[in-house]
Structure 1
Amino acid sequence: MASISIKTEDDIKGMRVAGRLAAEVLDFIQPHIKSGITTAEIDRLCHDYMANVQGTIPAPLNYCPPGYTPYPKAICTSVNDVICHGIPSDKVLKNGDVINIDITVIKDGYHGDTSRMFFVGEPSILARRLTDITYECMWLGISKIKPGAHLGDIGHVIQQHAEKAGYSVVREFCGHGIGKVFHEEPQVLHYGRPGTLDRLEAGMIFTVEPMINAGRREIREMGDGWTIKTKDRSLSAQWEHTVLVTETGFEILTVSPGMPAPPAFIQQAIAPQSISA
């Protein structure tokens, strides 16, 4: 098993800055998510904000894991039945669409990675419920993070909550360790059994980013080599935070003034300092 890096105090400081900046891109773009805008225009606005306002580098741009072609844009925009890695294009958003915007910035060598769901106009009841349940899934997973817990504990609570609501969990994509490297160990599965997989230690940093489908969990890959959609064309939702394992629990690194508050039932169960902007 590949080893999971334990971050130093300097690493953690750098990751706090990168995480906050990634979240602030989502705050910045929120007012622009309206009927009539294209996903390419959202990408252009975000890229300009990262480069010219923040002085950050968009990590996805030209990112090229083995077996892939370089990713051509600064952000990922996944609309409706797109699960993840949707490439910004001339696609025009319309009333009722739901979109996940996934931001990863690099600042002083450190990566901050976060995503949120946005509604275009008024969403359907199904879209709102799927989005809310997925948000709860992410927070339930995060709430299990503390030294001595296991990665399987995170996946188990996410899977239970999604399936109880009648939804399915995407298996092919998962959360990941992150630091000076975009994707590193561990893999953070969003399904599983409690008490299994790696044991968590203070100083680990990774993402929790469940992808939940309204229909079945099977996926299909589009011809561009990146875009992943639901096979049955059902809606999909995703939320993502980057999280530090602390001595007593966890700390959210991707905090910003405009980030949505955790669900009420989570707020009662966790320490406020874990999630303060």
Structure 2
Amino acid sequence: MNMDDEVYNAYREAGALARKVLRRGAGLVKEGAPLLDMVEETENMVTEEGALLAFPLNVSFNEAAAHDTAMPGDERVFTRGDLVKVDLGIHVDGYIADTAMTVDLGDHGALVEASRAALEAAIGAVRPGVVTGELGTIIQAAIEEHGYRPVANLTGHGLDRYDLHGKPMIPNVAMNGGTVLEEGMAFAIEPFATTGSGKVTEAARVEIYKQIAARPARLPSAKRILETARPRRGLPFSRRWVPGDKVEIGLATLVRNGILHPFPMLHDVPGSFVSQAEHTMIVTEEGCEVTTR
């Protein structure tokens, strides 16, 4: 795969900014701090740095693994014992950096280390010619060595321009075959380790959507939603970002008409804990460059 200097530099710029903002944002996760304040302050950091969000900041508590973000007027606060996943995506001219870390407000250090160790082990194996199934084998082994389960139905993913979930798919469990890595590929590896079942399911609550079809809408609330969605060029947005009232009616209508795709919150079994670690990288001639490290 070819990647010219302009594209390469955009990926690197996005990665450097994502690293900086993630560290600052994760530092706001403290016992007693309001979730909504933390999310909005972190998202504002991105625009202050001259970049754009690739997706709403994901902040997922305890058994939740992904697709959670602050609701409008969210009253949740971080509490002692929480295990908090902070997942940030930034893009520069459509070229994306996706990175995540887990903040431990309890006694979950070994679980946090399990996903982090799996990520580092997988990164160490990335090079042209490696098959993605081999990375899944490495991730699963590293997590199980720490005494936990990998989340089997969440994966890493390719990052194309304005596309968060392109090829290749990077499994978190052992599998045969897969995509052969090539120089110039950009993707995120994101191991999830859990004390639960090792499989996430969808919750009823949805805060994140993306536009998947370009068709007109009649409802004023639906029109306002599309005014928020269209400039995203298919990248996800938050319900919280849409101004005005009756947003729920507009969202339901647009989903029903196949114009929006919802992303329900994903979680393991109640009472379990999930950790996450994630970096974005570009495959190089002899290995990879991690843009978000």
Distance 1:243 1:55 in 2: 21
What's the TM-score once normalised by structure 2's chain length? 0.75
Q: Deviations over 1:92-149 (max 9, x none)?
A: 10122121111001222211110111123xx21xx11000111001111111101111
| C-alpha contact (below 8 Å) 1:7/1:205 kept by paired residues | no
Task: Tell me by how many angstroms 1:6 deviates.
Answer: 4.5
Q: Deviations over 1:165-190 (max 9, x none)?
A: 33111122211110312221111111
| C-alpha contact (below 8 Å) 1:147/1:199 kept by paired residues | yes
Task: Tell me by how many angstroms 1:59 deviates.
Answer: 1.8
In the TM superposition, what are the counterparts of 1:6-155 in structure 2 within 5 Å? 6-51=2-47, 53-60=48-55, 74-88=56-70, 89-120=74-105, 123-124=106-107, 127-155=108-136
Aligned amino acid, residue 175 of structure 1: G
Q: Could you tell me which of 265, 269, 285 is aligned with 1:231?
A: 269
Flag structure 1 segments of 5+ consecutive residues without an equivalent.
61-73, 256-277
Structure 2 vs 1, CA of residues 171 and 7 (structure 1 numbering), >3 Å: closer, same or farther?
farther
Q: Deviations over 1:2-40 (max 9, x none)?
A: xxx643332111100011111111122233221111221
Please give the root-mean-square deviation of Cα atoms over the aligned residues, in Å: 1.6
Flag structure 2 segments of 5+ consecutive residues without an equivalent.
207-263
Distance 2:27 2:200 in 1: 31
Q: Which residue of 2 aligns with 1:254?
A: 292
Name which one, 1 or 2, has greater alpha-carbon Rg.
2
Aligned residues, how many?
A: 232
Distance 1:153 1:218 in 2: 20
Q: Could you tell me which of 170, 173, 180 is aligned with 2:154?
A: 173
Task: Tell me by how many angstroms 1:232 deviates.
Answer: 4.6
**2:27 is paired with a residue of what secondary structure?**
helix
Q: Deviations over 1:205-256 (max 9, x none)?
A: 110001111122132311114211112531000010001111011110113x
Distance 1:176 1:218 in 2: 18
Structure 2 vs 1, CA of residues 231 and 95 (structure 1 numbering), >3 Å: closer, same or farther?
closer
Structure with more of its chain in strand, by fraction:
2
**1:161 is paired with a residue of what secondary structure?**
helix
| C-alpha contact (below 8 Å) 1:100/1:118 kept by paired residues | yes
Structure 2 vs 1, CA of residues 193 and 220 (structure 1 numbering), >3 Å: closer, same or farther?
closer
| C-alpha contact (below 8 Å) 1:15/1:179 kept by paired residues | no
In the TM superposition, what are the counterparts of 1:190-201 in structure 2 within 5 Å? 190-193=172-175, 196-201=177-182
Distance 1:212 1:206 in 2: 20
Aligned amino acid, residue 158 of structure 1: I
Task: Tell me by how many angstroms 1:45 deviates.
Answer: 0.3
Aligned amino acid, residue 120 of structure 2: W
| C-alpha contact (below 8 Å) 2:96/2:164 kept by paired residues | yes
Distance 1:101 1:30 in 2: 7
What's the TM-score once normalised by structure 1's chain length? 0.79
* Residue 217 (str. 1) matches residue 173 (str. 2): no
Task: Tell me by how many angstroms 1:158 deviates.
Answer: 0.6
Distance 2:270 2:197 in 1: 7
Q: Which residue of 1 aligns with 2:235?
A: none
